[in-house]
Every structure is written in C-alpha cells, then in structure tokens.
Amino acid sequence: MDMNKYLDIQPEIREALGAGRPVVALESTILSHGMPWPENLGFAAEVEEAVRAEGAVPATMALMGGRIKVGLGKEDLEVMCRAEDVGKVSRRDVPVYIATGKNGATTVATTMLIAEMAGIRVFATGGIGGVHRGGEVTMDISADLQELAHTSVAVVCAGAKQILDIGRTLEYLETMGVPVLGMGTGEFPAFYCRRSGHMLDYALRDEAEAAAILRAKWELGLNGGVLIANPIPEEYGMDFDEMEGVIRTALEAAEAAGVHGKEITPFLLAKVKDLTGGESLKSNIQLALNNARCAARIAVAYARG
C-alpha cells in the first residue's frame, strides 16, 4: 500500500527519521478538545519546544484536507487550537475524515496509528483513555487500549484520567499484554494526582532503561505498545480524595446533560476545570510538558541504540 498517497511528513521530520534521529509524536486532541483558546496555542508552541530542548524533533499529528499530517506548521496549529469544525478522530473515524477532507484532531489511538505509519516509536500525551466508570455495564472503553495492544509505539502519559475506572483500565491492559512501567514510581499515577492506589509491576530507574525495554520488546517480535506512566511533578499534583469529589460532581452533571460517547471526556475535563477554579488546567499543562520532556529523553536513548 502506498502510504505517501495520504501521509504528509514535514521535511524536518522526514529527514530526522531517515537519519535515525529521535522524533516524538504529539497528539492534537489535547489542543482542540482538551484546553481552551488561546491557552492551547501557547501550549502547542511550548510542548514542541520542550521536546526540542531535550534533543528530539516534535511531530504533532492531525487530519487536514484529506491528508494525514505528521508535523504541523503555525497556521495548521492555529486551526487545531481554534477548533472550529475540528472533529475528534479515533481509529474508526480516520477513513471518513480522509475521504471527506474534514479537519480532525488525533486522539491517543490515532496518534499511535499515524506514528507507526511514519516510523516514530515514542509518543507523549497527557493521559490515556481507558475503561469508563460503569464500563462493565456500558462497555464504554476507549479505543486507546486496543491501540496499545496492537500498535508498536511507546506512550508516555501521566497515567489514566481520573474520570475513568483506573483498576479496570489496568486489568484490561494486562489482559492485552501491554507492559505498564512507572517512571521512577511503583504506583500508577492518576493524571492530576501522583497516586491512584494501584501498584505497578515495574518502576523504571531512568529513560535509558525505558529505551532498553522497548528495544528488547520489539526485537523479540513482541508487537504492541508500551505504556510509560510518568507522574505529574510534585508541585503541580492535586489531592486524590479532593479530586474524587470533584469528579463525582462532574459525572453527575454529564449524566444530567445526557452526555456520552466521545463527547464525555471533553465535557468532564471542562467541568473539572470550572470546579477547580482553573487549577486543573494548570496541572494539565504541566503534566503534558513533563511527559514531553520524558518522551524526548527516551527517544534520544532509543535512537542511540
């Protein structure tokens, strides 16, 4: 299949990949559906700079005008951040957006998919999707988990969003054979919070060890992703119990408004931001920058071989 028919890889990124230099994939849903305008535009520049400062090349993904974009210029980033007629694109939506030429922001699942197409091994995001609370009844389970099971990209995140059922999310990943590694922690973080009460099997010493594990996994022919849980920096972390109360209130509001499906996460994040007086947005920005730096260091170590 001729990928180039659909794939637009920015020259700088294409050159870096060709030379075996480190590249870090970044999603665009965090811009269009995860943060308000104009803070998101400032963040878009800041997160790319954080990757560059660690010696890697950033590759922000999006679907625009019937093309898969690997790397966005200033104008494209602004379109994503203004989020006017920008959809939220998961794996199932990709062919629809390509064929119709609509603009779409990439979720964790789609960013992984595109990263693998382009040959990018490391991806930094905020938090992954997972099994929603009550998911054992509703079957509301993020496509991110299936993508992690099948797509050979390492995902650096601050754990799963606390709006989810974290225990069931980890069980699902275990069933799917996805290694979940803590960056300097033996406990799975919960997005805004450094702790969730769920312990991990392995705490990484550093980014070089993470790169060695990725190399071993893929050289053994063990396809699929690796989840690297990188806790939010201590000074920006929020109290777990306090956040639980906020999230319960947000979930009740979503139920009352009849919000479900792919709209639920943006709705809940906006509600949490209101209920915390904007503190959650500050935390969201800081954890995403922290993940970008960590992912870049892993990509640099991986590129060294």
In the chain, % helix, strand, coil (3-state, to 5) comes to 50, 20, 30
Residue 233 Cα distances to 48, 188, 245, 264, 284, angstroms: 19, 14, 22, 27, 11
8 A C-beta contact, residue 227 and residue 155: yes
Name 190's bridge partners.
Answer: 159, 193
Report angle CA 142, 144, 147 to the nearest 5 degrees: 130
CA distance 77 to 98: 18
Q: Using alpha carbons only, how large is the chain's radius of gyration in Å?
A: 18
In whole angstroms, give the CA distance from residue 28 to residue 26. Answer: 7
**Active-site residue among 27, 48, 147, 207?**
27
Query: Tokens for 181?
Result: 């590694």
Residue 54 annotated among the catalytic residues of the structure: no
- Catalytic, out of 69, 161, 271, 273: 161
Classify residue 203 as exposed, middle or buried by CB count within 10 Å of its CB (0-12, 13-18, 19+).
middle
Secondary structure of residue 93 in the 3-state scheme: helix
Residue of 30, 57, 54, 53 whose CA lies nearest to 41: 30
The verdict on whether 273 is a catalytic residue reads no
**How many residues are listed for the chain in this entry?**
305
Active site residue ranges: 27, 161
